[in-house]
Amino acid sequence: MMWKVGMDWSVLDTLRLRATRSRDKISDAITTVSGSTAAFQTACYQSGDSSPYCALQKRPNGYGDKSAANAVTSWVNRSVNIAEVETFGLGVRSLF
């Protein structure tokens, strides 16, 4: 679903004001999640290593081992259907 409403007002011959308001909604939005992203790493650690984001990090001894010997050996990127993305916008512009 998407809509946009606008107004254009000529205040003077040399001054025009324009305003727009919009809403965009996308269903079945696909995005990429990366294990190297700090937010996904934090979600994994705060979950006690039970978050699905933990699978985006490859470690020799699993996720629970916090020792230096268990440092991340690789990061995984995955495409994920996040179901829906919705944005709202407001724009104001003066032209002279």
The per-residue pLDDT for range 50-88, each reduced to its tens digit, is 888 888 989 898 777 878 898 889 999 988 887 777 888
**Over the chain, what is the mean pLDDT?**
85
User: Looking at residue 73, what is its pLDDT?
Assistant: 92
Q: What letter does residue 13 receive in the DSSP assignment? A: T
Q: What is the pLDDT of residues 28-40, one digit of tens each?
A: 778 888 989 888 8
Average pLDDT over residues 16-42: 86
Amino acid identity, residue 25?
K
Cβ neighbours for 40, distance < 8 A, ≥ 6 positions apart: 33, 34, 53, 56
For 7, phi then psi, to 5°, come to -140, 135
Beta bridge partners of 8: 18
Cα–Cα distance measured from residue 21 to residue 19, given in angstroms and rounded to the nearest whole number: 7
